[in-house]
Structure 1
Amino acid sequence: MIDQFVTKLLGGLAAASLAATPVAAAAQDAQAAQDAQAAAAAQQEVRVGPYGIPAAAVLAKLEDENNRSPIAVVNGRVITGTDLAQRVALLVSTSGGELSPQELVQVRMQVLTNLIDEVLQIQAATAQEMVVEEAMVQQRYAEVAQRNFASSPDPVGSMDRQLEQFGSSAISLKQQIRGEIAWQSLLRRNVVPFINVSAEEARERLEQLEATRGTDEYRIGEIYLSATPETREAVARNANAIVQQIQQGGSFVAYARQFSEASTREVGGDLGWVQLNRLPNEMSELVSQMQVGQLVGPVEIPGGFNIILLIDKRQVLSADPRDARLGLKQISIEIPAGATEEQAAQQIQQFTSTIQSAGGCAAVDDVAAQIGAEVVPNSAVPARTLPGQLQQAVLNMQVGQITQPFGSLEEGVRVLMLCSREMPQAGAQQSVEDIRQEIENERIEKRAQAFLRDLRNDADIRYN
């Protein structure tokens, strides 16, 4: 449930799953001592983020989960231990295991920088008489709840309870939504109107694309952490910890949204499709050697560190089977609680045989109803948005066929039936307007980063 909860709404707040490895008792004691020593050192020395937050001044208050005293004051606005604890709780509760003391130190410090940015964005919007109305926040929150708890008779109540179970709250998540709405409003007023990309400039880039037709372009994810000479070592440790968490199963989108200081954090760090000649030299050399799905970093660049994920790869202006749009039906059943493995296997086999014998999408709804299965139709689904294994399986299927069953005994077993496939046209042409929008987005991102830096530099931030 939590994967759907975070990725559909805010790009995810999930952390990584940490697998425990059996070791000898002596090794465990030694490791525990090292962890304690590292945590103590981190509490005394770590400074993370653009503000150089003094860890020693705030960490003592974070040890008490019930602490409500101020941790930071941003232009007179207090950030309390409760504010921070609830954000951290949501992050930690979605991990597959416990974070080490040192990792918790880094997470707390980085989440605190995010909260400070959030306050600055809301304050700036308010100063420009762009107050985020409560109704807007409630509407966005309800939309999130509906997407993630659609089967519940009370989606909002279900999400409220889920957050409480995490040790977080609806108030905390709504505040994050409020910050995002405020920032979008600020950009629309202070940045977007001043970005002007002419049709001529867009045509020139389109001509450049035509000249490179058939060459590779890359869809890249980034997590950018700023650093100064004083904070460089601490930020590097933080970046390495994030890389380790993602490599152990954490969501790149989640970490990008929570930790990245680039404006692409709003879309989970997604830079979109780019060619190597439009990337900094440090990045282009790395990306050209990466495989799809590979994570690299942290890479030191002017002003900080980048963590890079190669999300996808394709050829410029060339058709790709993964751009096909698919009509799918998801058919699922629940396995009775207490069923043995043998009983579950028999039910799954009978379920798949029955669905496959339906003869296609037209009749599958009636067949599913007879066996108590649920059918959810999905139209025009881009093939490349499916998970890797499912993507390849569906592309190899004929209309009317189903995938192998997937899911779990606890959450239900499901199959996908292919109902239609709309193949991409060869040599698909981007329009001048598409290119103009792409250039505009690039410039908005750069201006947004500068805007946020100005808000930070002008702020009065004190730590208690």
Structure 2
Amino acid sequence: MRPLRQLTAALITGTCLSVAAIAPPALAQGLFEPLIKVNGQAITRYELEQRARLLGLLRAPAEPNRLAREQLIEDRLKLEAANLQGIVLSEEELADGMEQFAARGNLTGEQMIQLLERGGVDEETFREFVRAGLTWREVTRVRFGARISVSEEDLERARNAIGSETGVRVLLSEIIIPVTPETQEEVMATATRISELDSVSAFAAEARRFSATATRDQGGQMPWTPITRLPAGLRPLLLGLAPGEVTDPLPLDGAVALFQLRDIEEIDVVQPEYSAIEYAAYYIDGGRSEAALARAAQIDADTDTCDDLYGIAQGQPAAVLERGTKAPSEIPQDIAIVLSRLDPGEVDYTMTRANGQTLVLLMMCGRAEVIAEDPGTPAAAPQAAETAEGEEGGETVELAPDETAQLSAQIANQRMESFSDGYLEQLRSEARIIEY
């Protein structure tokens, strides 16, 4: 959520009343009917309206109604995971979290509550919004904290990456193993074993045996890939590897991914960052059945651009084809990983949805590059690089101790975010979500 400096101006003035306060009894009763159930937990019309109103007042960078639905579903999953781990916030922790959130807009917690209430948002809505975020942070800390470490080698690679006027590209091998609730334990055991390999040939053998990607026949080997094409959460994980090392298993939606770093090098041309990526997804019933895979192969042969998919989908329900443009941070990690290796017009059909019952054919439509405000400065230069001093020729940048700590924290946070996003995608793929 962006800073709240303009919160007061965004809120409606004191004449506003909450929806529940002005609704007649019949309408008020309808507000509390369940519209969605997540593993049996209800989300009411009132909650959706309140969250959407809160997001609108906070100037959330997405359509409030759609984002409210997504957030509340995720909140149910996050709190359920917390309950299973015995994690419960105290009232003091929740109050501190509300104060910290309000402080982003130079407000106290009480001032924040009063302003939101004037905009029609109940205090309880704000409390639950903060509770979900704080609880999930604790869940991921407990679950993954022991696996997050930043070595001097990690810092050295990051310094080289941010202090060079050249670009960075990586040579990777991949394994993506489909997973269903029935096979999850077996797949995770296999993935954990593979993650301990340090041999390129051994990893290639496992890719030929288990991977569902188009690269399996090549031992999972991918071509040189600019680091900027990869999801932001994956980059620090790769930069933290030495050649031959493998990432920990990365939970995706319906799959588990592993990447082996075969090589890394600097190149003379700085690779662009991307502000938006346009792609299309065509859904095929049958999962990874022979018929579904044959259908995907035929579509691949019959299409050259994303526009061609409209002809493929003609006469079918609108839901079978989705096409849109999203910021890289908004794209689910499993989709972002697949798109990173595609050029415009290329397709991939290794992913599934609906617990493996639906095959997803992805096509890359195009990428929009970030335009730097200052032509002499890379648009996406990390904050730590702003004050870094180095010599010409791409040598390592020497950072002050506080800047080194900042860089270390950035790498650790990105790794934690990657684990967190993957875990949430796993919970969502396994959840029973019913909409009325």
Normalising by structure 1, report the TM-score: 0.42
The structure with more helix, counted as a fraction of residues: 1
